Chains A and B, each alone.
Chain A
Amino acid sequence: MYDAPNLGATVEQKDIKISAKKVQVYYGETHAIKDVDIEVQDKTVTAFIGPSGCGKSTFLRCLNRMNDTIDICRVEGDILLDGEDIYDKRVDPVQLRAKVGMVFQKPNPFPKSIYDNVAYGPRIHGLAKNKAELDEIVEKALRRGAIWNEVKDRLDAPGTGLSGGQQQRLCIARAVATEPEVLLMDEPCSALDPIATAQVEELIDELRSRYSVVIVTHSMQQAARVSQKTAFFHLGHLVEYDDTANIFTNPKDERTESYITGRIG
Chain B
Amino acid sequence: MSAGLVILVVIAIATAGFFIGRSRSLSAVNGNIRQLHSLPGYYGQTVFLAAAVPALLVAFGWLLLQPILVESQITNMIAPSDIAEGSSRGLVMADVRRIATGLDVAIATGALTEDQLGALSADQSDVRALLGSVGVALASEVKESVLVASKTYREMTATLRSAMAIIVILLSLGGAVFSLSRIKPDFRARNVSETAVKALLILSSTVAILTTIGIIASLLFETAHFFRLYPAKDFLFSLTWNPQFTGGSDLGILPLLWGTLYVSFVALVFAVPIGLLVAIYLSEYATRKVRSIVKPAIEILAGIPTIVYGLFALITVGPLLRDYFAQPLGLGTSSSSVMTAGIVMGIMLIPFVSSLSDDVINAVPQAMRDGSYGLGATQSETVKQVILPAALPGIVGAVLLAASRAIGETMIVVMGAGAAAKLDLNPFEAMTTITVKIVSQLTGDTEFASPETLVAFALGLSLFVVTLGLNVLALYIVRKYREQYE
Which residues of A are at the interface with B, using a C-beta cutoff of 8 A?
A: 64, 66, 69, 71, 94-99, 101-104, 106, 108-112, 120-121, 124-125, 160, 171, 174-175, 178
B371 at interface (Cβ–Cβ under 8 A)?
yes
Whether B377 sits at the interface, judged by CB under 8 Å, is yes
Interface digits, B79-113 against A, CB 8 Å rule (1 contact, 0 not)? 00000000000000000000000000000000000
Q: Does the CB pair A111–B390 fall under 8 Å? A: yes
A-binding segment of B210-218, B227-235, B362-370, B397-405 = B362-370
Q: Could you name 26 residue pairs across A and B whose Cβ atoms are closer than 8 Å?
A: A64-B374, A94-B377, A94-B378, A101-B374, A101-B375, A104-B370, A104-B374, A106-B367, A108-B365, A108-B370, A110-B372, A110-B389, A111-B389, A111-B484, A112-B389, A120-B372, A120-B385, A121-B375, A124-B375, A124-B381, A125-B376, A160-B484, A171-B371, A174-B371, A175-B374, A175-B375
Are A97 and B381 touching (Cβ within 8 A)? no
B376–A98 CB distance below 8 A: yes
**Partner pick for B373 among A97, A109, A171, CB 8 A cutoff:** A97
Complex Cα gap A106–B370 (Å): 11
Q: If the complex has contacts A71-B288, A110-B386, are A97 and B367 also in contact, measured as CB distance less than 8 A?
A: no
Task: Verify A178–B376 contact, CB threshold 8 A.
Answer: yes
Chain B residues with CB under 8 A of A103: 374
Q: Is B287 an interface residue (CB 8 A)?
A: yes
Complex: A121 Cα to B386 Cα, angstroms: 12
| Residue total for B at the interface (Cβ-Cβ under 8 A) | 21
Closest to B288 in A: A71
A97 and chain B: residue at smallest CB distance: B376
Q: Main SS of the interface on chain B?
A: helix
Verify A94–B288 contact, CB threshold 8 A: no
User: Considering the chains assembled together, what is the distance between the CA atoms of A110 and B390 in angstroms?
Assistant: 8
- Pick the contact of B371: A64, A71, A108, A124 (CB < 8 A): A108
Q: Which residues of A contact B378 (CB under 8 A)?
A: 94
Interface residue ranges of B315-337 to A (CB < 8 Å): none
Residues in chain A near residue B288, CB distance under 8 A: 71
In the assembled complex, the CB of B394 is this many whole angstroms from the nearest CB of chain A, namely 12
Other A-B pairs beyond A94-B378, A178-B376, 11, CB < 8 Å: A69-B370, A94-B376, A96-B376, A98-B375, A101-B375, A102-B370, A104-B371, A109-B371, A110-B390, A120-B385, A178-B375
CA–CA, A95 to B386, complex, Å? 18
Q: With both chains docked as a complex, state the minimum distance between the C-beta of B472 and any C-beta of chain A, in angstroms.
A: 24
Beta-carbon contact of B373 and A108 below 8 Å? no
Distance of B287 from chain A, by nearest CB (Å): 7
**Which B residues are in CB contact (< 8 Å) with A106?**
367
B383 CB to nearest chain A CB (Å):
13
Q: Given A124-B381, A160-B484, A102 and B374 touching (CB < 8 A)?
A: yes
> Judging by beta carbons under 8 Å apart, are B375 and A95 in contact?
no
Interface residues of B in 342-375 (CB under 8 A from A): 365, 367-375
Q: Which 6 A-B pairs have the closest CB atoms?
A: A98-B376, A108-B367, A102-B374, A97-B376, A121-B375, A108-B371
The answer on a CB contact under 8 Å between A108 and B368 is: yes
User: For B370, what are the chain A residues with a Cβ–Cβ distance below 8 Å?
Assistant: 66, 69, 102, 104, 108
Asked if A66 contacts B373 (CB within 8 A), the reply is: yes
In the assembled complex, the Cα of A120 lies from the Cα of B378 at a distance in Å of 12
Give A190 Cβ to nearest chain B Cβ, in Å.
Answer: 14
Question: Taking CB as reference atom, which chain B residue is nearest A123?
Answer: B385
Quick check: B374 and A66 within 8 Å, CB to CB? yes
CA distance A94 to B381 in the complex (A): 11
Q: Nearest A residue to B369 by beta-carbon distance?
A: A69
Which of B371, B372, B378 lies at the interface centre, i.e. has the most chain A CB atoms within 10 A of its CB? Answer: B371
Residue of A nearest to B391 (CB): A111
Which residues of B lie under 8 Å from residue A98 when comparing CB positions?
A: 375-376
CB <8 Å contact, B367 and A120: no
Measured between beta carbons, the chain B residues less than 8 angstroms from A66 are 370, 373-374
Chain B residues lying within 8 Å of A175, measured Cβ to Cβ, are 374-375
Complex CA distance for A64 and B369, rounded to whole angstroms: 15
Assembled-state Cα–Cα distance A134/B365 (Å): 28
Q: Which residues of B contact A95 (CB under 8 A)?
A: 376
By a CB distance below 8 angstroms, the chain B residues around A171 are 371
Instruction: Name the A residues within 8 Å of B386 (CB-CB).
Output: 110
Chain B residues with Cβ under 8 A from A102's Cβ?
Answer: 370, 374
Q: How far apart are the CA atoms of A175 and B371 in the complex, in Å?
A: 9
How far is A110 from B367 in the complex, measured between Cα atoms in Å?
9
CB distance from A65 to the nearest CB of B (A): 9
Shortest CB distance A191–B (Å): 11
Q: Distance in Å from the Cβ of A24 to the closest Cβ of chain B?
A: 23
Q: Which residue of B lies closest to A98 (CB)?
A: B376
Please measure, in the bound complex, the distance between the C-alpha atom of A170 and the C-alpha atom of B107, giving whole angstroms: 89
B374 — nearest CB in chain A belongs to which residue? A102
Cβ 8 A contact of B368, one of A96, A110, A124: A110
How many Å lie between the Cα of A141 and that of B370 in the bound state?
Answer: 20
- CA A66 – CA B365 in complex, angstroms? 16
**Which residues in B have their C-beta under 8 angstroms from that of A178?**
375-376
Closest-CB distance, B347 to chain A (whole angstroms): 32
**Chain A residue with the shortest CB-CB distance to B365:** A108
For B390, list chain A residues within 8 Å (CB). Answer: 110-111
User: Across the interface, which residues of A come within 8 angstroms of B373, CB to CB?
Assistant: 66, 69, 97
Scoring B377, B378, B389 by chain A CB atoms within 10 A of each residue's CB, the highest score goes to: B377
Q: For B368, B370, B374, which residue has the most chain A Cβ atoms within 10 angstroms?
A: B374
Q: Are A97 and B374 in contact (CB under 8 A)?
A: yes
Q: In whole angstroms, how far apart are the Cα atoms of A67 and B377 in the complex?
A: 15
- Shortest CB distance B377–A (Å): 5
- Alpha-carbon gap, A174 to B368, bound state (A): 13
Centre residue among B370, B375, B385, B386 by max chain A CB count within 10 A: B375
Interchain CB contact under 8 A, A124 and B484: no
Bound CA–CA A96/B378 (angstroms): 12
A103, B375: Cα distance in complex, Å: 9
List A contacts of B484 (CB < 8 A): 111, 160
Q: How far is the CB of A173 from chain B (nearest CB, A)?
A: 12
What residues of chain A lie closer than 8 Å to B371, measured between beta carbons?
Answer: 104, 108-110, 171, 174
CB-CB under 8 A for A124 and B376, given A71-B288, A104-B367, A108-B365: yes
